Structure 1
């Protein structure tokens, strides 16, 4: 294995430091998981009063100006 620029490749596995031989931190599943019970507390209250499709600001104005009134 040769690199185009000398000094820019990792050493062979038998010559690596122990820190380099451990699992790569970017690999899935190597991060710390938060299993605390308080992490989901209050999430239901955040969306309790929201409408799924809120009314536009000018909807009432557009309706009154375009409606036929006699």
Structure 2
């Protein structure tokens, strides 16, 4: 082994840990867990609205509505 930075190579297979020798994960869910995952996702989304109302939406609507509490609308009525 001739490397510019000695000690940065992987250890020989005899000296590797089990994690280093194991094959890389594919990132796919095994079939035995796939249906369970889909069921959990569907149950979690059951009570959700498609377009939920923002918590401050009512407050903002009241700020810009004309009414008895808004004195600026009464300036031009006189």
Q: TM-score, normalised to structure 2's length?
A: 0.46
Larger Rg: 2
Q: TM-score, normalised to structure 1's length?
A: 0.50
Larger helix fraction of residues = 2
